[in-house]
Amino acid sequence: MKIKPKLQKKTIKPSKNSVFHRRLDYQYPVIDHGKGIYLYDESGKKYIDAVGGALVANIGHGVKEISQAIAKLTKRFGFIHASQFTTRHMEEYAKELCRIAPKGLNKVYFTLGGSDSVETAIKLARQYHYDLGNKGKYKIIYTYPSYHGATLGALAVTPKKSFREIYEPYLAKHPKIPSYFCYRCPFKKTYPGCDMECAWELEKTIKKNGANKIATFIIEPIVGASAGAVVPPKEYFPIVRKICDKYNILLIADEIMSGFGRTGKWYACQHFGLEPDILISGKGISGGLVPLSAVFCTDKIFQAIKKGTGNFSHGFTYVNNVITTGVGKAVLEYVKNKKLVDNCAEKGKYLYSKLCGLAKEFEIIGDVRGKGLMTAIEFVKNRKTKEPFPRKLHLAERILQTAMKKGLNLYFCLGFADGVNGDAIMVAPPFAVTKSEIDKIIKILSDSIREIQKTL
Ligand SMILES: Cc1ncc(COP(=O)(O)O)c(C=O)c1O
């Protein structure tokens, strides 16, 4: 008797299975494998991963060179504790990373993900001041909109109400200021005739709280998922850098999303000549293959801690890990050899021009923004007034769902216009994307917008 092969179910409902999924209201497609910018589910359906998950799968899926590197590493090493041993490849990798980082960053502490990197960075800033005898400096100035992570320290400097609300009793209080956001200027001004009020707000807030209380200012050099690829005006960071220096405040650049080549330079800071005191890089630094991130700092910070307490009073089991740093090194070599950062810059221009084309076609697209392969489109009800769609319409989510049905994976950004409303979609494909693949992305995106626009 011939036994029929059992067909796998196309999707999985979180309530029916044992995994505690991130989304409990969603039917998960079950992915079988990936190749390049594509993912394939168990029924054979093909998806273009036009955001590399969440700007993580930067070298694409199923990369042979990296799977070989992982096999070699795991043959040679098991777990090695960071307080007991080091390895040659980790030492070399750190040097190579510092060489391509913004000037002045010459020490690197390897972490796991973005949130624990933010914890590491803010503790590093605090210990720097503590070790120099400035024990009153502990507050962190942060911006809105922004996203810095889900752990309690990172959430304390992440402004979004819906993320914070439940955990508010756990969160330390820190001062927040409006971010640069020219399309929706918080001061209702128009660049360039705005005197960069958003940057000077930092100084006002320092004076209000007392410089002797402020340890650090944390900011994304290009705002990621909280508002969708918002790029600062060129004057912003020179002003902010000067203010931080004047009041002895360390500047943390959160490049978890924008870093490691995504914007067409190794780091977004390098577009603006910004030399931060601490920089964090994650997501695509390992191509998403292992949990790896990096916290860079200057020698000034390292020496203050060495001469002060003597050690950084911090650590996780998996920091400075032999396997993850080995994978990171292989990914760095791959990105360099294939000149993928240059491809981000070049294909980014093409993608941006195509998104501008969509904005000509659809009245509901109010803004196109971004740098390199980190781009977004914002939807508005009224182009003139920039009035957002009411949140209850779930516009961005519906466009995303429609695109997913058509085989395109995108990323949405919500609530940035006024804390509740605001719909944007990010398009940020893997670095080796070709022009014809961008054309395919734009075609499905355009069909999806058209389909939803009809229902408005
Ligand atoms: C700018 C930024 N910082 C921090 C994080 C937190 O990273 P993770 O989700 O890896 O903890 C994210 C995640 O999206 C991010 O975009």
Q: Give CA 109 to chain center in angstroms.
A: 18
Question: Please, which residues bridge with residue 47 across strands?
Answer: 39
pLDDT tens digits, one per residue of 155-187: 999 999 999 999 999 999 999 999 999 999 999
Residue 15: the pLDDT is 81
Q: What is the pLDDT of residue 14?
A: 80
The rounded percent of the chain whose pLDDT value lies above 90 is 96
d(CA 51, CA 56): 8
Quote the CA–CA distance of 71 and 327 in Å, as a whole number. Answer: 10
Ligand 1 atom closest to the Cα of residue 226 is 16
Q: What is the pLDDT of residues 7-55, one digit of tens each?
A: 455 788 888 889 999 999 899 999 999 999 999 999 999 999 999 999 9
SS3 call for 364: coil
Residue 118, ligand 1, Cβ within 6 A: yes
Mean pLDDT of 370-374: 98
Q: Is the pLDDT of residue 4 over 50?
A: no
Distance 278 CA to ligand 1 centre (A): 16
- Pocket residue to mutate for ligand 1, from 22, 257, 279, 411, most atoms within 8 A of Cβ: 257
Q: Tokens 């021009």 belong to which residue?
A: 353
Q: For ligand 1, pick from 22, 218, 283, 414 the residue to mutate: most ligand atoms within 8 Å of CB.
A: 283
| Cα–Cα distance for residue pair 163/218, rounded to 1 Å | 18
426, with CB counted inside 10 A (0-12, 13-18, 19+), is: buried
Joined tokens for residue 157:
């400097």
Q: Which among 113, 148, 108, 136 is positioned nearest to 124, based on CA atoms?
A: 108
Instruction: Identify which of 401, 393, 374, 375 has the alpha carbon closest to the alpha carbon of residue 455.
Output: 393
CA of 257 to the centre of ligand 1 (A): 7
Confidence at residue 1, expressed as pLDDT on a 0 to 100 scale: 46
Displacement of CA 207 from its chain's centroid (Å): 30
- The response to whether residue 218 sits with its C-beta less than 6 Å from ligand 1 reads no
Q: How far apart are CA 389 and CA 418, in angstroms?
A: 11
Give the pLDDT confidence score for residue 6 in this predicted structure. Answer: 45
Ligand 1 centroid to residue 160 C-alpha, Å: 14
Residue with CA at minimum distance from ligand 1 atom 3? 148
Report which ligand 1 atom has the smallest distance to the Cα of 116. Answer: 11
- Ligand 1 proximity of 225 Cβ (cutoff 6 Å): yes
DSSP readout, 403-435?
HHHTTEE-EEEESTTTSS--EEEEE---TT--H
Q: What are the backbone angles phi and psi of residue 177, rounded to the nearest 5°?
A: -130, 160
Per-residue model confidence (pLDDT) at position 2: 46
DSSP for 126-185 reads: HHHHHHTT-TT--EEEEEES----SSHHHHTT---HHHHGGGGGGPPP--EEEPP-GGG-
What is the rounded radius of gyration, in angstroms, for the C-alpha atoms of the chain? 22
Residue 265 has pLDDT above 50, yes or no: yes
Which residue in the block uniquely carries the two structure tokens 């240059």?
342
282 C-beta closer than 6 A to ligand 1: yes
Query: How far apart are the CA of 113 and the centre of ligand 1, in A?
Result: 7
CA distance 388 to 420: 10
Q: Are 47 and 64 in contact (CB under 8 A)?
A: no
The number of CA neighbours under 13 Å toward the Cβ of 453 is: 15
> Which pairing describes strands 46-49 and 278-281: parallel, antiparallel, or unpaired?
unpaired
The pLDDT score that the predictor gives to residue 12 is 81
pLDDT surpassing 50 at residue 5: no
pLDDT at 149: 98
- Report which protein residue has its CA nearest ligand 1's atom 10: 114
**Order of all β-strands in the sheet with 411-414:** 365-371, 374-379, 423-427, 411-414
Q: What is the DSSP string of 32-61?
A: EEEEBTEEEETT--EEEETTHHHHT-TT-B
Dihedral of the alpha carbons of 232, 440, 444, 338, in degrees to the nearest 10: -40
Q: Whose CA is nearest to atom 9 of ligand 1?
A: 114
The response to whether residue 147 sits with its C-beta less than 6 Å from ligand 1 reads yes
Mean pLDDT of the chain: 96
Amino acid letter for position 22: R
Which of 256, 285, 295, 324 most suits a substitution to test ligand 1, by most atoms within 8 Å of the C-beta?
256
146 CA: nearest ligand 1 atom: 1
Token pair 């292989």 is found at: 330
pLDDT band at 3 (very low <50, low <70, confident <90, very high): very low
Ligand 1 mutation target, pool 51, 58, 115, most atoms within 8 A of CB: 115
Q: Is 254 in the pocket of ligand 1 (CB under 6 A)?
A: yes
Q: pLDDT tens-digit profile of 94-109? A: 999 999 999 999 999 9
Whole-number Å distance, alpha carbon 114 to ligand 1 midpoint, is 4
pLDDT at 111 over 60: yes
* 3-class secondary-structure state, position 287: coil
User: Which positions ≥6 away from 310 have C-beta within 8 Å?
Assistant: none
Whether residue 149 has its Cβ less than 6 Å from ligand 1: yes
For residue 114, name the pLDDT band (cuts at 50, 70, 90): very high
Q: Is 220 in the pocket of ligand 1 (CB under 6 A)?
A: yes
Is residue 376 very low, low, confident or very high in pLDDT (cuts 50, 70, 90)? very high
Give the pLDDT score at 13: 82
Residue type, 177: I
Give residue for tokens 């650590």. Answer: 315
**Residue of the CA atom closest to atom 7 of ligand 1:** 114
Model pLDDT, residue 80? 97
- Predicted confidence (pLDDT) per residue in 241-261, tens digit: 999 999 999 999 999 999 999
* Beta bridge partner(s), residue 11: 29
Q: What percent of the chain has pLDDT over 70?
A: 98
Q: Which atom of ligand 1 is nearest to the CA of 283?
A: 10
Residues across the chain = 456
Does the beta carbon of 142 sit less than 6 angstroms from any atom of ligand 1?
no
Q: Is the pLDDT of residue 140 over 90?
A: yes
Q: What is the pLDDT of residues 203-221, one digit of tens each?
A: 999 999 999 999 999 999 9
Q: Whole-structure pTM over 0.75, yes or no?
A: yes
